[in-house]
Amino acid sequence: MVKIGLFDSGLGGLTVVHEVRRRLPGAGVEFYGDNGRNPYGPRPQAEIVKFSRQILDFLAGKGIDLAIIACNTATAAALAEVQDAYPFPVLGVIEPGARAALAASKSRRIGVIGTEFTIRSGAYTRALQGLSPGVQVLGQACPLFTPLVEQGRTAGPEPEAAARAYLAAFRGSGIDTLILGCTHYPVLIDVIRAHLDPGVTTVDPAVETVAQAKLLLGAEATLPAAAPTYRFYTSGDPELFARLGSNILGRPLENVTRVTFPE
Ligand code: DGL
């Protein structure tokens, strides 16, 4: 069985696993959620690189055929450092997200929401302008969104108020496309959409990333296997991970084990 390893700072990466499940029904999954060290967004680059290496070394020991960094922050911080360090391809989500956004945009004004690190790094601006010079990019950090998803507070006054405040940055800006530049954000898609100007398309980079994985893995991954094995590891509370994660994945989550690394 073909196996994909994925990781994130927490639950957000399960939005990418969801896409893997839809598009690559023959592939097994080894997923690591670093919930115990979430969020990554406010951390310095060196620390995010260290965590990414620890997790990729762990996933490499599971015999994976391909890894997806299911985290925009870790992609921005660490992809360049780790992508040639393993005997399997390591994909990030930012380049695929940029390509999908350019395919969707007519106005060539594109918005990006993400963590403080991702927005400050300028990784999306570089990727978008590298592929299409002259495209205009407007970024907005949304630091409260990730903790809300980690706590399962995805509806009600708090996400509502946060979305209103953050997305005001795009009102009347002329963007026609908004990149969900953090894998936690698709969980908040309804509240995000409610605060965008009419006609703005949202882009989830997971779709294009998994399409890229599909090209690399070939037919075995796409043929529905009887029951590909999904295993989950978290540095946080496995019970909480299973409970909140099953809402994101849309199926019960078994096989959740606590695994931590030295600080
Ligand atoms: N899900 C993550 C991302 O895609 C990071 C959230 C965080 O840890 O701050 O950027």
Q: Is the CB of 71 under 6 A from ligand 1?
A: yes
- Does 186 lie in the same domain as 62? no
The pLDDT value given to residue 224 = 77
Q: Which of 182, 200, 217, 248 is catalytic?
A: 182
What are the structure tokens assigned to 138, written together?
A: 């407007």
Q: Which of 205, 231, 247 lies at the terminal end of a domain, its last residue?
A: 205
Q: How many helices (H) and strands (E) in the chain?
A: 12, 10
Q: Is residue 263 part of a domain?
A: no
* Residue 142 annotated among the catalytic residues of the structure: no
Structure tokens at 154: 């995805």
Containing structural domain, residue 64: 3-93+207-258
Report pLDDT for 218: 87
**Whole-model pTM over 0.85:** yes
In a domain, 69, yes or no: yes
Residue 116, domain member (yes or no): yes
Asked, for residue 7, whether it belongs to a domain, the answer is yes
Within a domain: residue 32? yes
Active-site residue flag, 71: yes
Report how far ligand 1's centroid is from the alpha carbon of 141 (Å): 11
The number of domains in the chain is 2
CB contact set of 92 (below 8 Å; sequence gap of 6+): 68, 69, 75, 79, 83, 209
pLDDT for residue 165: 98
Q: Which one of 181, 205, 229 terminates a domain? A: 205
- Torsions phi, psi of 156, nearest 5? 110, -170
Same domain, 161 and 253: no
Is 183's C-beta closer than 6 angstroms to any atom of ligand 1? yes
What's the CA gap between 67 and 60, in Å, rounded? 9
CATH number at residue 17: 3.40.50.1860
Give the position, in ligand 1's atom list, of the atom nearest the Cα of 184. Answer: 1
pLDDT of residue 227: 80
Reference 105, options 124, 91, 88; nearest CA is 124
Digitized pLDDT (tens) for each residue of the chain, 263 residues in all = 899 999 999 999 999 999 999 999 999 999 999 999 999 999 999 999 999 999 999 999 999 999 999 999 999 999 999 999 999 999 999 999 999 999 999 999 999 999 999 999 999 999 999 999 999 999 999 999 999 999 999 999 999 999 999 999 999 999 999 999 999 999 999 999 999 999 999 999 999 999 999 999 988 888 877 789 999 999 999 999 999 999 999 999 989 999 999 88
**Spatial contact of 178 and 154, defined as CB atoms under 8 Å apart:** no
Q: Is 39 in the pocket of ligand 1 (CB under 6 A)?
A: yes
- The Å distance, Cα 219 to ligand 1 centre, comes to 31
Burial of 199 (0-12, 13-18, 19+ CB in 10 A): exposed
